[in-house]
Amino acid sequence: MKTEKQYFDEAITLEAYMEKMEKHKENSFGIYEKFEVPQDDEFIEILKEKKPNVLVITEDWCGDAMMNNPILRRIAEAAELDVRTAYRDEDTDLIDMHLTNGGRSIPIYLLLDDEGEILAKWGPRATAIQEDVLERRKQLPTKEDPAFDEKQRAFISELMTEYTTQPELWLTVYEDIRKTFMPALQKTN
């Protein structure tokens, strides 16, 4: 089985991944063009100093990845980091090492040191967004209900609209990534 470092070394850049996108490319680039990393943030400074690598496990069809990846890309650009992308479905061994509650949820961001050791793991959603999504899912009928498919499609459409039009959600993602990565960065030499 390959290590995270091997996956990182074989992966494409986040920029190349976004250029190759098909399903959510326009929305993802819309977020990328509008999101700005907060100024005077010690997070960016410590990232510049420590120079970790980030391995992203993602897929183009994922709405959460559509919103989160451009934010990570802006962080990486501000801190001059090497961020690489592995497709979840091409080799499920990688995602199977990083399941979320037993599922292959994406995106997953692995903060790696020079040797490829995992310093921190983030994803697939910011904590506050995850809580909101789970609460709203409770309103959906059961999967056996004939109305489930229609209600599920409407729910996903509503999320996509929010993800692409609400800058406060983008800042929530940024802050959650920061909250997850900072303690790990502060522990390293």
pLDDT tens by residue, 131-167: 999 999 999 999 999 999 999 999 999 999 999 999 9
**Residue 80 corresponds to which tokens in the numbers above?**
């001059």
**Residue 89 corresponds to which tokens in the numbers above?**
């479905």
pTM of the model: 0.94
Q: How far is CA 48 from the centre of its chain?
A: 20
CA 107 – CA 62 distance, rounded (Å):
8
pLDDT at 95 over 90: yes
pLDDT at 186 over 80: yes
Residue type, 67: M
User: Across the strands, what pairs with 164?
Assistant: none
pLDDT at position 39 is: 83
pLDDT tens by residue, 3-18: 999 999 999 999 999 9
**Residue 153 corresponds to which tokens in the numbers above?**
């499609």
CA 120 – CA 131 distance, rounded (Å):
21
Percentage of the residues of the chain whose pLDDT score is greater than 90: 95
Q: Mean pLDDT score of the chain, rounded to an integer?
A: 95
Which candidate, 56, 32, 52, places its Cα nearest to that of 44?
Answer: 52
Percentage of the residues of the chain whose pLDDT score is greater than 70: 99
pLDDT tens by residue, 101-141: 999 999 999 999 999 999 999 999 999 999 999 999 999 99
CB 147 within 8 A of CB 141: yes
pLDDT at position 41 is: 79
pLDDT at position 189 is: 65
Residue type, 38: P
* Average pLDDT for 158-184: 96
The domains located in the chain, with CATH, are 4-126+167-187 (3.40.30.10)
pLDDT at 46 over 70: yes
